[in-house]
Structure 1
Amino acid sequence: MAYKIDNLLDRVAHRAALRRWRRIADEAARVDLSELRALRQRARHLRRHLERMIHVAENRLALPMIGNAAVATPIGSDWSHRPELWNGPVFPAGYAGVASKQRLGNETTLHHDCTVSELTLRQIRNTRPEDLAPYGLRMDVFRFDGSFLSLVIDLPREGVEGLRKKHLVRLETIVELEQPIEMFARLNVKHGPNTDQIVRELPLHEPQVMVEFDLSYSNFNEKRVEHAWIDLIFEGPQMNQMILRDLTLSRRPRAEI
């Protein structure tokens, strides 16, 4: 049960303890050595618990807040989203020897065609001061005998409702790579029996890894949109560790000319 500190008795006891130890510190230079030795032992016991509590508190308070909804979006955006994998804990948090079509959480699925899987997938806790997302995703790839590796991220219902050809869909991410590779993002929009696709290469050499999908170049039927998803495609991923510290999606109507 969580400890409560907002009651009157606790505040009174805390003030009394502060006064007592302030007085002991003021008189430490004058007390008998035998009494000073006993007081030092008590102070050390108290310090052990205080330092442990401060250490835990500083670590927890330094971490990005779980469920943080802060998403940097362009002016005029009518929807933004940080998928749950980067926003809160999922269970289980990871897999080794990951099979194709393995889901991690409710929105993210890994696809590959390896004969023998030497891939691991794990949600990790972000700890850097600059991170907005509380969680990241780490993927380790050892021997890779397949022809493709992709991470599929489903757009929620709110991102699909009202989707029009006038929209620009933006994907932003923070990527850390052990070895440089090429990555592509593909937006898929399913409308009736058909699926329209737009592919963009992620500019991994730039400080801000961002791509936009201009839906005016697609041919989907606005009245029949059923589902949309993003494929993150990793080219030549063998013997590499890839960390996605954050991933956000947003959309905005194109400015009228």
Structure 2
Amino acid sequence: MAQHKTGLLERVLMRRSRAFWSRAAKAAATTDLSVLRRQRNQARILRHKLDELTHTADSRLALPRIGSSSFPKPPGTDWSWRPQLWRGALPVQGLSAVESKTMLGDEVTIFHDCQISELTLRQLRNMREADLAPYGLRMDVFRFDGSFLSLVLNLPQSGCEGLMKTHLVRLDAIVEVEKPLEIFARLNVRHGPNTEQIVRELPLDGDQIMVEFDLAYTKLNEKRVDSMWIDLIFEGPEMNQVTLRDVTLSRNPRAEL
């Protein structure tokens, strides 16, 4: 990305240019017509370049900032995370005939058992005013001869530190589907040789989705938590397009009963 720093001389020239056009505008009513015609032509050329700059700047500045981890969190949140796939550009932004265990960056992996993969994935730049995540993920599924399709999010170690049975783990997502399907989220918490699992169905009655996993109902050994991951499981995905505009995780202590 090109970097441009405005130097002292350039700033002086810009101030002089602004002063010149300010004087010309004030004197336009009495300026000689031949001079005024020349100034008008110069002003039109300058206005075209300024409009071009303003249009591009408005477009870029309206987009979610790349690398952003900003999103609404419930009161008392002590950990939050947006996976890299939704924060920044991947080295490869589009894949076709995606094989099982293909990784999208370092944190997201696709799993399926298709004999012939007719699955495509594409990272896209979020452009909508409502979007907080810089990027989204679009998944197109054509013929599907497998029995399962899932997207696995490996949570960072920071999410495991201090994890207790009194915690609620919350998943927020913005999902668009071409036609109705079922999507389940399964939280997996490994502690020693055991793994606790909690499954929630995503309510697809709106774009913005939230589910919570209550660890109070697990047999979690708080002293031995070593890893966590989320499985997003897509039921009946054939001939469908699913766009995950954003996926975020957060953690907060549950209210005392």
TM-score normalised to structure 1 length: 0.91
Percent identity, please. Answer: 60
Which residue does the alignment assign to 2:186? 186
Q: Distance in 2 between matches of 1:207 and 1:133?
A: 14
Matches within 5 A, 1:37-186: 38-186=38-186
Q: Distance in 2 between matches of 1:209 and 1:29?
A: 63
TM-score normalised to structure 2 length: 0.91
The CA deviation string for residues 45-92 of structure 1, in whole angstroms up to 9 with x for no partner, is: 323322221121111110011122222111112111111111122211
Which residue does the alignment assign to 2:28? 27
Which residue does the alignment assign to 1:2? 3
Q: Distance in 2 between matches of 1:93 and 1:58?
A: 25
Q: Distance in 2 between matches of 1:99 and 1:174?
A: 25
Q: Distance in 2 between matches of 1:239 and 1:189?
A: 33
1:28 Cα shift?
A: 7.4
The CA deviation string for residues 193-223 of structure 1, in whole angstroms up to 9 with x for no partner, is: 3222110000111464111111122223222
SS of 1:13 mapped into structure 2: helix
Matched to 1:72, the amino acid is P
SS of 1:203 mapped into structure 2: coil
Is residue 2:201 matched to residue 1:201? yes
Q: Distance in 2 between matches of 1:147 and 1:19?
A: 71
Given that 1:28 and 1:36 are in contact with CA atoms closer than 8 Å, whether structure 2 keeps it comes out as: no
Q: Distance in 2 between matches of 1:43 and 1:72?
A: 45
Which residue does the alignment assign to 1:247? 247
Given that 1:94 and 1:104 are in contact with CA atoms closer than 8 Å, whether structure 2 keeps it comes out as: no
1:167 Cα shift?
A: 1.3
Q: Distance in 1 between matches of 2:113 and 2:221?
A: 31
1:93 Cα shift?
A: 1.8
Matched to 2:232, the amino acid is L
Q: Distance in 2 between matches of 1:222 and 1:193?
A: 13
Given that 1:71 and 1:81 are in contact with CA atoms closer than 8 Å, whether structure 2 keeps it comes out as: no
1:252 Cα shift?
A: 1.3
Given that 2:203 and 2:209 are in contact with CA atoms closer than 8 Å, whether structure 1 keeps it comes out as: yes
SS of 2:165 mapped into structure 1: coil
Given that 1:71 and 1:80 are in contact with CA atoms closer than 8 Å, whether structure 2 keeps it comes out as: no
Q: Which runs of 5+ in 1 are unaligned?
A: none
Q: Distance in 2 between matches of 1:221 and 1:156?
A: 19
1:133 Cα shift?
A: 1.1
User: How many residue pairs are counted as aligned between the two chains?
Assistant: 255
Q: Distance in 2 between matches of 1:207 and 1:88?
A: 22
Matches within 5 A, 1:223-234: 223-234=223-234
Q: Distance in 1 between matches of 2:38 and 2:116?
A: 65
Q: Which runs of 5+ in 2 are unaligned?
A: none
Which residue does the alignment assign to 2:211? 211
1:40 Cα shift?
A: 4.3
Structure 1 stretch displaced more, 157-166 or 206-215: 206-215
Matched to 2:58, the amino acid is E
